[in-house]
Amino acid sequence: MNSTRQILNQFEDEGYFVVRGLLNWEEDLQPVVHEYEQVLDRLVHQWHAAGRLATLHSDLPFGDRLIQATREARLPYDQEFDISLPQQNITEQTPIHTGPAVFDLLRNDRLLDQVTEFLGEEIYSNPVQHTRVKIPEHLIPEEVRTGLTIQVACHQDSGVVTADADETSMLTVWFPMTSSTVENGCLAVIPGSHRKGVELHCPSRNPLNIDQTCIPDRLIDQDLVPLAMEPGDVIFMHRRTIHCGLVNRSDKIRWSFDLRYQPIGEPTGRPWFPGFVARSKGHPETELHDASAWAASWHAARRKLAHSDEVAFNRWQQGDPRCA
């Protein structure tokens, strides 16, 4: 077991730290799997009723069922599973998953106890959060490719939020729900890159013709270090650590969550999205414990954003001469 000082020393030196076996499969992760199985079952029934599927593939486990149904229906699924809204084309019907098991995961005591080591006792759940269920890229239909389902290019989390959050002590908390390996597209980091400051991020299109905001290759001067992880392992990462998600070259899904936490009262870098007080030693009455209230806050944000055209989620814009 690593001491707090060892953890913080590596975090300060390398910009990340992996805690092995922090989460318990049965208590912490299995309820989330069950909730997502229900989401997929609902989605499959919708596709079947619409004539996009010949069968419900009910005999298959979650990952195989998702692959088979998606390849047959050729319809996107990522937003049905995601726990945040997209950055464009938001309507009042845009899907977002706000189930109670995920809310419990955001407030998980094992996670928050560890977050406390980095941030202290006043912890805010930053709304920059995602679940990524990545189908192997050689199996995913073109119509289904999105920024959440394919390789994630090199970036810093500080680089994909607004500039007002540059000094926010935002902590990334990333963990897999399936084995995460080099073959299936694990996370990879550049140790020590957090000391450089916020790098230039350019809107670009990757080889699969998907828009992403990433650091230009010419600014990446160190090798990436892949971080193979198992369910229960958690990586805690500095907001300026350069990282990416590798290509899923396997025949199975790679499923992960990336969450973010910060001290209460600091800018989130995504002011249009709702966060909440996850833990407060000084004012425990401000903590959110109601999953339905959390869901309602996202639905309210969705309604507002559906009728707004004055939102700029990123500081980096198309046509920036530095990106030429």
Integer-rounded Cα radius of gyration of the chain: 19
How many angstroms separate the CA atoms of 194 and 156, rounded?
8
What's the full length of the chain, in residues?
Answer: 324
Residue 204 exposed, middle or buried by CB count within 10 Å (0-12, 13-18, 19+): middle
Question: Under 8 Å CB-to-CB from 84, ≥6 apart: which residues?
Answer: 96, 127, 128, 129, 130, 273
**How many CB atoms are located within 10 Å of the residue 243 CB?**
25
Q: 295: which DSSP letter?
A: H
Put simply, whether the predicted model's pTM sits higher than 0.75 gets the answer: yes
Selection from 133, 106, 125, 137 nearest residue 36 by Cα: 133
CATH 2.60.120.620 fits 77-308, yes or no: yes
Q: Where are the domains of the chain?
A: 77-308
How many angstroms separate the CA atoms of 298 and 284, rounded?
22
- Please provide the DSSP assignment of 240-253 as one string: T--EEE----SSS-
Kindly state the greatest CA–CA separation across the chain. Answer: 58
Ordered per-residue pLDDT tens for the chain, 324 residues: 677 888 889 999 999 999 999 999 999 999 999 999 999 999 999 999 999 999 999 999 999 999 999 999 999 999 999 999 998 889 999 999 999 999 999 999 999 999 999 999 999 999 999 999 999 999 988 888 887 787 888 999 999 899 999 999 999 999 999 999 999 999 999 999 999 899 998 887 665 556 778 888 888 888 899 999 999 999 999 999 999 999 999 999 999 999 999 999 999 999 999 999 999 999 999 999 999 999 999 999 999 999 987 787 878 777 778 886
Element (H, E) at 201: none
How many angstroms separate the CA atoms of 78 and 62, rounded?
14
How many angstroms separate the CA atoms of 48 and 68, rounded?
13
Selection from 142, 155, 125 nearest residue 208 by Cα: 142
Q: Are strands 254-263 and 171-176 parallel, antiparallel or unpaired?
A: antiparallel
Q: Which two tokens stand for residue 199?
A: 């790098």
Q: Are residues 242 and 199 in contact, defined by beta-carbon separation less than 8 angstroms?
A: yes
How many angstroms separate the CA atoms of 102 and 131, rounded?
10
Selection from 64, 69, 67, 68 nearest residue 49 by Cα: 69
